[in-house]
């Protein structure tokens, strides 16, 4: 997961849509990445529980999915 987050190239001001299995593990890793930025405009991490096929409104700077799915939900293509 850390390799995937590193490849995502998340920056301090980015809004990241992380769609996972609901354990919060990847969100916790993202929060740890966020603490290392120490950017003055960082607002922190907000966790929103929602259906990943119908995410909260974007725009999102990055999107990462850590669960198996049959097809890319069309809304993801317009969320970023």
Domain range annotation of the chain: 2-68
Residue-level pLDDT at 35: 53
Closest by CA to 78, choosing from 32, 33, 17, is: 17
Kindly list the distances between the CA atom of residue 8 and the CA atoms of 15, 20, 50, 57, in Å, as whole numbers in the listed order.
12, 15, 22, 20
Give residue-wise pLDDT tens across range 22-61: 787 887 887 777 555 444 454 566 767 778 778 888 788 8
78 contacts: CB under 8 Å, gap ≥ 6: 58
Residue-level pLDDT at 40: 47
Mean pLDDT of the chain: 77
Residue-level pLDDT at 34: 55
């Amino acid at each position: 997961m850390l390799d995937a987050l590193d490849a995502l190239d998340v920056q301090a001001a980015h809004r990241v849509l992380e769609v996972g299995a609901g354990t919060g593990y990847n969100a916790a890793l993202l929060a740890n990445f966020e603490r290392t930025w120490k950017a003055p405009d960082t607002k922190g991490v907000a966790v929103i529980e929602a259906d990943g096929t119908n995410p909260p409104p974007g725009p999102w700077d990055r999107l990462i999915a850590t669960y198996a799915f049959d097809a890319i939900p069309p809304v993801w293509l317009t969320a970023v």
